[in-house]
Amino acid sequence: MSAPDSLLAEGGNSIAVLCGPGGVGKSALARQWAHSNRDRFVDGQLYADLRGFSGDRPLDPGVALGAFLRALGVTPDRIPVDLAEQVALYRTVTADRSLLVLLDDAFSAGQVRHLLPASTSTAVVVTSRRRLTGLLPDGARLLDVGPLPAEQAVELLGRAVGPERILRESGPAGESAGLCGGLPIALVVAAGLLAFRPKLTVRRIVAELADEAQRLARLSRVDGSPIRAMFQCSYQELTPEASVLYRRLALHPGTDFGVDLVAAVAGARAGGAARVAVLVGELLDASLLDEVSEDRFRLHDILRLCAREVAEQHEPEADRQVVVRTMLEFYLAAARRADLVVTPYRRRLPYTFLRPLDGPPEFADRAAALAWLDRERGNLMEAGRVAFGLGHHGLAWQLSDVMWPLLLYVKNYRDRLEIDELGVQAARAWGNVWAEADMLKRLARARSRVGAYDVAEQHGRSAVDPQRQVVWDRLATYHDHPQRREERSA
């Protein structure tokens, strides 16, 4: 059973709304279903491209009604000029007919509502980038159309360039599908690159698409690919505040993120949580944001690249760096709160935040704090990498240090080694010998836990000299913390 079947199986003037981002395959799915079910509707099918996001003005419902009435046998001289009269005549003509009405690329519920037939034996399939919840009172049921799963994405590539070629390089084919985010429009472009050059290996395409800075450009070079235009049509419909938020969210260093992070990025002091909810709702309605679970979201990879490109065009580099720094510091602030709940006895180095933050959560108990740290593990690790890459070495060390409670209670030595190694590098680049010694001790313990005793001993010995240096520095300067000394000398 195909997707619209699950919404239309009950029959009786039912309405299925397929919603999702541009290029995800809504129209293809609707047309395929209509073709497969053409025998169910003895009086035929009606189709209209409502041009909701084509770059032109959305189609006037009166124009579509005129075409429908003519297709149903009404002579042009009998078609009223007034829209309300057109709707009345359309519903009279369709009252006893068995029809499928396919309304593609709808802009709004109001545009669609004029085109709903009156018969109890019709089905209406609507596609839109918006959720069109305004049609729910009319009996509509919504279906979110997401990117293709990996297996189907590879199958699409195989149909386009030949299954033998894909089977020869099944691993790279899966990677290329992943780099296209399962988005059919991007997969078709990637397939076009392969079809255009039959001798080109799939692995070569993967190498070319792997660089995020070049991926969007590479996917836009075949036959004037509409990927950028597809994004712009949805993006331009956003309110100014939502468009700014979307550009900022595109700079997020990880994959999915919580509503608390959105609040920090929005800086929505005026209106608070209610205003953030409105902005998130606008992005969800435009299919520019995916809701992966309650209060947790992600941007589709290709749309994120489009949004980053727009951010680079509209916002100076310095402003973008402030946004990224805000995100990194949000994760540090939230993780510090969790750290204080789980291990309140730990010694910590102070950190001065760039500005006060909205959004960092509070934790009722240790279980909630550990659950948050575990859920955000990937984002915290990526935040540390990004901070180090941007030269925020003190922040990078703090992001490594603050994960200690999770590493203590939730054993994952692969992550622990990476986190502690980054912490050592960050401390050395920062020039903080106490931070370096502390992280070397942690790294030594982690190495010993995985059986690398020789390396663990080396790390342990390396921790001794920096610690001794700290002691002598304290005695020489009469200060009780090495970072204060650094702050005065900076």
pLDDT computed for residue 5 by the predictor: 65
Pair 69, 85: CB distance under 8 Å = no
Per-residue pLDDT at 369:
95
Phi, psi of 141 (to 5 degrees): -125, 135
16 conformational bin, left if phi > 0, alpha if psi -120 to 50, beta if neither: beta
Q: How many Cβ atoms from other residues are within 10 Å of residue 163's Cβ? A: 12
Q: Reduced to 3 DSSP states, what percent helix, strand and coil does the chain have, rounded to the nearest 5?
A: 60, 10, 30
Rounded Cα distance, 490 and 477, in Å: 16
From first to last of its 490 residues, the chain has per-residue pLDDT tens of: 466 666 665 545 589 999 988 888 888 889 988 888 888 899 999 999 998 887 678 899 999 999 999 999 999 889 999 999 999 999 999 998 999 999 999 999 999 999 999 888 889 999 999 999 999 998 899 988 988 888 988 888 888 888 888 888 888 888 988 888 888 888 888 888 887 788 888 888 888 888 877 787 777 655 555 677 778 888 888 999 999 999 999 999 988 999 999 999 987 555 688 889 999 999 998 888 888 888 899 988 888 888 888 999 888 999 999 999 999 999 999 999 999 999 998 888 999 998 887 778 899 999 999 999 999 999 999 999 999 999 999 999 999 999 999 988 887 878 888 999 999 999 999 999 889 888 888 888 878 777 776 766 676 677 666 655 555 455 444 344 443 343 333 3
Contacts of 94 (CB under 8 A, 6+ apart): 72, 117, 118, 119, 122
Q: Among all chains, which residue has been given the structure tokens 């240096």?
A: 469
Whether 246 contacts 335, CB under 8 Å: no
Q: How many CA atoms lie within 13 A of 205 on its CB side?
A: 30
Give the pair of three-digit tokens for residue 68. Answer: 């429908």
Contact 298, 290 (CB under 8 A): yes
Contact of 398 with 302, CB cutoff 8 Å: no
Q: How far apart are CA 123 and CA 116, in angstroms?
A: 9
How far is Cα 93 from Cα 79, in angstroms, rounded to an integer?
12
Crossing angle between the packed helical segments 202-210 and 184-196, to the nearest 10 degrees = 130
Residue 298's DSSP bridge partners are: 290
Q: Is the dihedral of CA 367, 370, 376, 377 positive or negative?
A: negative
d(CA 466, CA 469): 5
Region of residue 389 (phi > 0: left; psi between -120 and 50: alpha; otherwise: beta)? alpha
**Phi then psi for 286, rounded to 5 degrees?**
-85, 0
Residue 197's SS3 state is: coil
pTM equals: 0.77
Whether residue 93 contacts residue 40, with contact meaning beta carbons closer than 8 Å, is answered with no
Per-residue model confidence (pLDDT) at position 53: 84
